Every structure is written in structure tokens, then in C-alpha cells.
Chains A and B, each alone.
Chain A
């Protein structure tokens, strides 16, 4: 339950606003962190905390691109392919990345590690090609750097899996 796990954070969030409804967005981020995506349970809990109807919370979640409505890969890679990035090769970079992972636009690798999507401008146009991995920017990329990162993330995930099975 969000209200037990994040009790202190939730109190702080409500203190920021004169109206409970304003807490929907920050609480949706907590729900996403807890459930891995904005799950039906998450929606209901946020609605209960904000004392509003779950369908309203669901419509807010659906309006924004940063709330995941379905589970994503462990590494959620969002590549900017908007005009400024595309002028310096972001489209090719995006397709090379998909090919390298052997998946299609928006898909997740079968091992559940990587989801690759293309997104609109991320305000990093001077450091293209770039992507956002789970809310962190990775900039000035090329495929060589990307391959090294993918290996690093695979090793990281394997080490975590190992540690949790021990």
C-alpha cells in the first residue's frame, strides 16, 4: 500500500497544495515507482488518497506520456527523434538501436530488460543523439557507446538477479 510505504512523502506532498486533487500527479509517480507502472490498484489508491473518483485519476494518467499504463522493460529507453535530434542522425540511431536489440518500435526485449520508444523533444538538442533511461538523460550517444551501455546494463541486471536468488 502506498500510504504505508510512502507515509512521510505523502504527507509532504499534501502539504504543498491547498487542494487534495493537486496531489494526483506526484502520487501517480509514487504509484508507478511502487507497482512498476500505473496499475489499477495504484489508480484506486491515488483516488482514495485524493478523495476523488478513480476514473478521473485514470484520465490524468492517460493524458501524460511519463506515466506508464503497461509494464515496461527494466530499462525504459526513450530516444528523442524530434527535428533537432533528427537533423544530426537520431532516426538512424533509433533504428540501429532497435535492430541491435532485435525488436520493433515500442517493443520490449523478450528477456524483459529493454523497452525502446521514440519520443518528442527532451530539451537536450545540443547533445544529440540522446535518450532518457528511466528518467535519467544519456547524451552525446553513438552506437558504439550504446552497445557498451547495453552490455553494462545487462551485467547490472544479471548481478541483481544473482544477488536476489542467493
Chain B
């Protein structure tokens, strides 16, 4: 089957305007403009396209929450791609640029937005400029600007560069960042659909989500639903990294198994045995490389049933030689660095998780520290403003669930008399921090 998202693998230079229009480009927007905005939303809703940025929320539903009010409305394209193991949006931005621009424009038409901002992570410096050049070509062709396609809808499109902060991938932090405020999440409600960028109705969608939209409009919701599974329809890009023979992006219909995906990417590197899988980067719980997991379909609901998440489908493969304490510490270091510091459980929790995990890894700890990190992680859950505070707990809790003995192997067994003061010591130090 030809790729729907990674079209650059089938058509050279599809990302440029000239080649894109030769291959059916802008048919989706043309068709959308012949429909009413409500009809466009209905098709996307019916397709059951689910957000590819991580949460898997219905895209059509999200668009339908935008109120029909006068004044500016915004679309923000989430191109911040900073989850460890994720590099799919980058390929779309670089190589299928126009399909993203067209998808964002269809979204903007559907909610009658006046401006689109593409929030590109700052490290994608050159990619942002390339995107700007393609935006200019679309503008020259009349797809951006005043009275688009002869309609009475006008819309602008701009690139905004981030500057290195994972938290700005969180949608409300992203809005603050564009507004020139600290990139920290907002308290919700109000939700962005009602009061988002500059206090106006705003839709935030991931790059890959929007790249799905033009083919949905051209081919219809029924066609889209014929790909993938009933609850998780459509194609998905899987980013394969870590101990895998052929790392890279792979597009598959949702519903294939982990085993099929890993085989497609050449299997575990060096013929080693599989130990663990991170299905969604550092943010989703680790899974053991068992037959049960390998035979699980890659859908939002099936991966959730295993106790993990499909998320953005950034699949990191860990082979039999991987030290799980080391891997957990790596992930915790990431979250400690990226916590924006607004909520105490997340800010202090990630600090102490790193501190005690490091002690375990350096063999300076006791069994009590293993219990302690588990208790800290559990106490952090559900107590923060954004999902990062929960993401940060999942490496610790899932590693302890499946590989607890590896943590114990790093520490000396302790007598109960030692355990009690050690447990107390940390909360005291926390309070004074």
C-alpha cells in the first residue's frame, strides 16, 4: 500500500509545492471550501481520526468544541516534537511539508480561524525556514491570505520557533510560549477551544494529525475507517529507535502487532533477545518483551489494556543486556530537567527520584531507597497541573513492576532499624529545599 503520511518514500520531492500539486495536492482544501465548515467537521468526526500527539483524542470532536463567535480564532500546529524517541513529525515537516500546510488550512477553514501558528521546536531551525518558504509558495498560489479560493474566508500562516523546552509541547504551555510568557501550563478550564491563544478560541493539533486531514477530505470518512481498526482507524507512523536493526520511521495501519513492527524494522540489533519495549518514548510505561506483549495489536485501546500507552508511537527497543536501573535513571533525568517547576509534587518529586535513583545506581543506597522511589512516584500521581507530573512516574513504577530484583541487586539488604530513619530523612530535607 502506498504511504499516506510518509509519501516522500514513494514520491521524490513531494514536500515541495510544485510536486505536491502534480500529485493531487490541494484537492482536499478545494473540496473543503465547497463544503460548509460544519460539514468539514462532520467528515473528520465521522472518520474517527484520533490525535497523534499522544492523547488520542477525537480530532473532529475537538474542532466541534470551538464556538461560532466573531473575532479572531487560531489554529496552533504542535511541531515541538521533543518526546525521547519521537522523530516522525520531523519527517513530515521536512519531506511532506505541503500536506501539513494543507491539513492545517483545512482545520483553519473548519473552525473559521484567522491565523495559524506552527510552533516548531527551536532545534528544527532550518526546517522552520524551509517550512516558511513552502508557506510562501502556498500563499503565492492563493491558498493563504485574503479570500482563499474565492471564498470569503481569509487566513494567515506563520512559523514560531520554540527555544528548547519539552514542556512547550504541552498545549497550554505552548500558548503561553507564543504569547511571550513563561512556557508553563495553564489551569483548565477554560479549555483552549473556548479561551486559548490571546484568550481566543484555539485548536491545537499535532503535525501528524493534520497530515491525515487532506486524504480524509478527498477520500471520505468511510475510506479512512477501512484502514486500521474500528476504535483506532487510519495509518500511523512508528518511530523505531534503540536496539533495533533498522531504526527509522515506519508507516503502518493501526492494529498490526508489536512483533510485525519489530520484524519490519529488522528485529533486535545484533540478533539479541528483546528485553523491554517503551511504546511511547519515556512517557509511557515500560513493557516486558513477552509473547503476550509482542502479539498485542498496536492500537490505543490494546496498548492501554497492557497498562501502557500508544502515545505518539515512539517505540524504543531495549535488548537483553540493558540495565533497567540505568535506563530508568536516564528517563528520570529527562523529566527532572524538563519539569517546568510550577507544581510542587512534580518539581520536588522528579528531583528526589533522580537523587535517590542515582544513589541506587551508584550503589550508595539501601533497599529502603527502592521502596522510597516507589512511594514518591505513587504520591506524585494525579497531583500535578499537566501530564508531565504523571509521565515522570511511569519509568519508575513500570521498571519496579517488572524488574524489581535488578534494583535490589544494586543495594544491600538493610535491617529494619536502619530503614525507619532513612525514610524520614528525605521528607524533612524536601520541606526545607
Contacts and interface: CB of A to CB of B under 8 A. Distances in A.
B247 A125 contact: yes
Contacts of A26: 160-161
A22 B85 contact: no
Contact of B180 (A23, A88, A137): A23
B84 A135 contact: no
Contacts of A127: 247
A132 B124 CA distance: 10
B179 A123 contact: no
Nearest to B122: A66
B178 A22 contact: yes
A158 interface: no
B122 A64 contact: yes
Contacts of A128: 241, 247
A134 B122 CA distance: 12
A144 interface: no
B95 interface: no
Contacts of B249: 126
B182 interface: yes
Contacts of B164: 64-66, 119
A76 B243 CA distance: 29
B155 to A, nearest CB: 13
Q: Which has the most chain B C-beta neighbours within 10 Å: A86, A122, A127, A137?
A: A122
A135 B400 CA distance: 38
Interface in B217-238: none
B99 to A, nearest CB: 19
Interface string B83-110: 1111101100000000000000000000
A5 interface: no
Interface in B121-167: 121-126, 158, 160-166
Contacts of B380: none
A129 to B, nearest CB: 12
Contacts of A132: 123
A122 B83 CA distance: 9
B240 interface: yes
B166 A63 contact: no
A28 interface: yes
A123 B243 contact: no
B330 A18 contact: no
Contacts of A18: 72, 198
A16 interface: yes
B125 A63 contact: no
B287 interface: no
B316 A83 contact: yes
B334 interface: yes
A98 interface: no
A125 B126 CA distance: 18
B330 A126 contact: no
Contacts of B242: 83-84, 87-88, 125
Contacts of A23: 180
Given A25-B177, A123-B90, A132-B123, A82 B334 contact: yes
Contact of A84 (B72, B81, B85): B85
Given A121-B334, A135-B125, A66 B163 contact: yes
B182 A125 contact: no
Contact of A126 (B161, B166, B183, B247): B247
Given A121-B85, A123-B121, A135-B123, A25 B163 contact: yes
Contacts of A88: 242-243
Contacts of A65: 163-165
Contacts of A75: none
A126 B240 contact: yes
17 contacts: A16-B160, A22-B160, A25-B160, A25-B162, A25-B180, A26-B160, A67-B163, A83-B316, A83-B327, A84-B241, A87-B243, A87-B318, A120-B338, A124-B87, A125-B247, A126-B239, A135-B125
Interface of B: 72, 81-87, 89-90, 121-126, 158, 160-166, 177-183, 198, 239-243, 247-249, 278, 282, 314, 316, 318, 322, 327, 330-331, 334, 337-338
Given A16-B160, A83-B330, 6 more contacts: A21-B180, A26-B161, A83-B84, A123-B89, A125-B314, A135-B125
